[in-house]
């Protein structure tokens, strides 16, 4: 057997079949990516091994500008254990402010720039949102029939979300970013999943609407969906936004550089979201609590709920040239992209990752492109498809890109962190 034939004989290196094409592309980029200063070549190589791509072949043939996918006889290593790096650092908590949900602190549907600030805080302070509302001004109740809910839903054409805010951060101005640190997310004891007819990724497959209520255990760890089906809870705030620039209200259904309806399932307790300030004070809004959510949100809803105890610390970082939502978890860096199609959203997320990390690490844009191809994971955040919506706006498709911290050395991780936290 020659070097250019695969061990399973299904194709050759110069003409890879679809099954081998993605590994072949990864192999072609691996040789250069592994030699980048500050990239953990062992962790990156283990990722290649787990995908069935030969490290030795990648090194040898990348230098010869050829593609090679390792044969089946090569041992496949276990994937690298995720490297966890603390998200929050050492900054102490500031003052804790109570912000209950009331008629004067909640707007349903849209973020209106004319709304007076309900709370002004200093950087590092914590906002305790006690007993937030479910959708439609807290009018949805456990066990309410679908038909009764529909009459409520149609009263809010700007959108369903009960948005708390705006909260202003002293000194925040365009050109800055606000870090939203998720300290505590404890939902109420119930939620629902629903699909009106003609909605979701399969709008024509079902001839009637769907509504399913769920109760949560006292510790808010799980919900029993059906006999023998138990869902672990991972609560998030699906809407996190600063006020978009302009003098018109913006629906909470929408999303963009300011955040908005981001629906990022990774944004659980112990993570951070970074939002670029567009107006003085930032004017932060939040709402649309989810007890659990899958990537894609394919039937248009997660487990919709509200928060019994929500605590977010807001930290201002001055003069940071990052103009897109960025998230950090203990194991990954995440960028979000939006578009009218999944293709457009993927490209937007990838370009955001390349632009940001290339500037942060001094690695070339093509190096970051290669790292995204080898170790990144690009997932459909939200497959919005509201073909028969009662709302005046429809959300864009969303894709989030995840790059593991495990592939970077300590110095590179510090470079990345300093790019969005220049003051530490």
Q: pLDDT of 304-362, one tens digit each?
A: 999 999 999 999 999 999 988 999 999 999 999 999 899 999 999 999 999 999 999 99
Cα end-to-end distance, the chain, whole Å: 56
- What are 337's two structure tokens? 């992209």
Calculate Rg over the CA atoms of the chain.
23
Distances (CA, A) of 199 to 194, 252, 289, 320, 404: 10, 18, 20, 39, 34
Maximal C-alpha separation, the chain: 75
Residue indicated by tokens 């699909």: 195
Query: Measuring CA to CA, which residue among 240, 333, 234 is closest to residue 293?
Result: 234
The CATH T-level fold of domain 96-420 is Jelly Rolls (2.60.120)
What residues contact residue 173 under an 8 Å CB cut-off, 6+ apart?
277, 280
Task: Find residue 382's DSSP bridge partners.
Answer: 296, 398
What is residue 126's predicted lDDT score, i.e. its pLDDT? 97
Q: What is the tens place of the pLDDT at every residue in 216-263?
A: 999 999 999 999 999 999 999 999 999 999 999 999 999 999 999 999
- What are 232's two structure tokens? 């672990």
Instruction: State residue 267 phi and psi, 5-degree precision.
Output: -90, 60
Residues 86-119, buried b or exposed e (16+ Cβ, 10 A)? ebbeeeeeeeebebebeeebbbbbbbbbebeebb
What is residue 388's predicted lDDT score, i.e. its pLDDT? 63
Cβ 182 vs Cβ 269: under 8 Å: yes
Low-confidence stretches of the chain (pLDDT < 50) are 1-8, 12-16, 18-21, 24-25, 56-79
What is residue 42's predicted lDDT score, i.e. its pLDDT? 62
The residue ranges of every structural domain in the chain are 1-81, 96-420
What is residue 2's predicted lDDT score, i.e. its pLDDT? 41
What residues contact residue 108 under an 8 Å CB cut-off, 6+ apart?
136, 137, 156, 158, 159, 160, 161, 162, 163
């Amino acid at each position: 057997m020659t070097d250019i034939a695969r061990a399973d004989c299904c194709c050759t290196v110069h003409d890879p079949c679809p099954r081998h094409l993605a590994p072949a592309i990864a192999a072609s980029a691996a040789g250069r990516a592994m030699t980048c200063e500050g990239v953990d070549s062992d962790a990156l190589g283990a990722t290649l091994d787990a995908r069935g791509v030969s490290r030795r072949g990648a090194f040898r043939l990348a230098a010869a500008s050829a593609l090679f996918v390792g044969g089946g006889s090569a041992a496949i290593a276990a994937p690298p254990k995720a490297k966890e790096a603390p998200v929050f650092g050492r900054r102490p908590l500031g003052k804790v402010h109570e912000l209950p949900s009331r008629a004067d602190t909640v707007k349903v549907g849209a973020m209106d720039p004319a709304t007076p600030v309900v709370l002004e805080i200093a950087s590092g302070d914590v906002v305790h949102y006690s007993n937030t509302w479910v959708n439609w001004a807290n009018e949805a109740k456990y066990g309410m029939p679908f038909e009764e809910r529909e009459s409520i839903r149609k009263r809010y054409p700007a959108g369903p979300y009960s948005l708390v805010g705006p909260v202003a951060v002293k000194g925040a101005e365009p050109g800055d970013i606000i870090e939203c640190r998720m300290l505590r997310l404890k939902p109420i004891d119930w939620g629902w999943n629903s699909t009106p007819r003609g909605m979701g990724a399969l709008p024509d497959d079902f001839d009637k609407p769907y509504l399913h209520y769920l109760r949560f255990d006292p510790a808010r760890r799980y919900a029993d969906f059906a006999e023998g089906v138990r869902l672990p809870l991972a609560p998030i705030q699906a809407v996190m936004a600063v006020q978009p620039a302009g003098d018109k209200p913006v629906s909470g259904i929408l999303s963009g550089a300011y955040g908005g309806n981001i629906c990022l399932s990774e944004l659980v307790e112990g993570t951070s979201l970074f939002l670029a300030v567009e107006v003085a004070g930032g004017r932060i809004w939040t709402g649309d609590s989810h007890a659990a959510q899958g990537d894609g949100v394919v039937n248009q809803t997660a487990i919709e709920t509200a928060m019994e105890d929500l605590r977010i610390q807001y930290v201002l970082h001055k003069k940071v040239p990052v103009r897109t939502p960025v998230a950090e978890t203990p194991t990954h860096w995440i960028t979000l992209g939006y578009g009218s199609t999944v293709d457009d959203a993927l490209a937007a997320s990838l370009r955001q990752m390349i632009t940001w990390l290339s500037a942060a690490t001094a690695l070339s844009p093509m190096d970051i492109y290669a790292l995204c191809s080898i170790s990144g994971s690009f997932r459909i955040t939200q497959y919005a498809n509201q073909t028969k919506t009662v709302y005046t706006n429809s959300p864009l498709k969303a894709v989030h890109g995840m790059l593991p911290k495990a592939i970077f050395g300590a110095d590179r991780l510090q470079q990345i962190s300093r790019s969005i936290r220049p003051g530490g």
